[in-house]
């Protein structure tokens, strides 16, 4: 199945991130509070949203930080995806 987000919505998938503590210990993603980092899987067309013109600034493949608690979780083909509005994406990580 292919998910095509409407308007200013973006489909993302949480990333497991490894993290190195200051003392050099590597914590795998599941051993700590998961940061809200995700990969962009699909981007809506933007355009007129609630009477305002929205331009999309993220693209498929971007790694992004999104607002905790934002968005709707959906399970598609056994995969846990999140659909958020672009305004709930805080930053792109490179």
* Residues in binding contact with its own copies, number by CB under 8 A: 45
3-state SS class at 29:
helix
Q: Chain centroid to CA 29: how far?
A: 16
Using rule CB under 8 A, residue 31 touches its own copies: no
Cα separation, 37 vs 15, whole angstroms: 6
Using rule CB under 8 A, residue 18 touches its own copies: no
Summarize as ranges the residues that interact with its own copies (CB under 8 A).
Answer: 1-7, 9, 11, 19-22, 35-37, 42, 44, 48, 50-55, 57-58, 65, 67-68, 72, 74-78, 83, 86-87, 89-94
């Amino acid at each position: 199945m292919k998910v095509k987000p409407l308007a200013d919505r973006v489909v993302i998938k949480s990333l497991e991130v490894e993290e190195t503590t200051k003392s050099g210990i590597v914590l795998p993603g599941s051993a700590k509070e998961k940061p809200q980092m995700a990969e962009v899987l699909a981007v809506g067309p933007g355009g007129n949203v609630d009477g305002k013109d929205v331009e999309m600034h993220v693209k498929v493949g971007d790694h992004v930080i999104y607002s905790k608690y934002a968005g709707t979780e959906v399970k598609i083909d056994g995969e846990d995806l999140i659909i958020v509005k672009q305004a709930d994406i805080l930053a792109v990580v490179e």
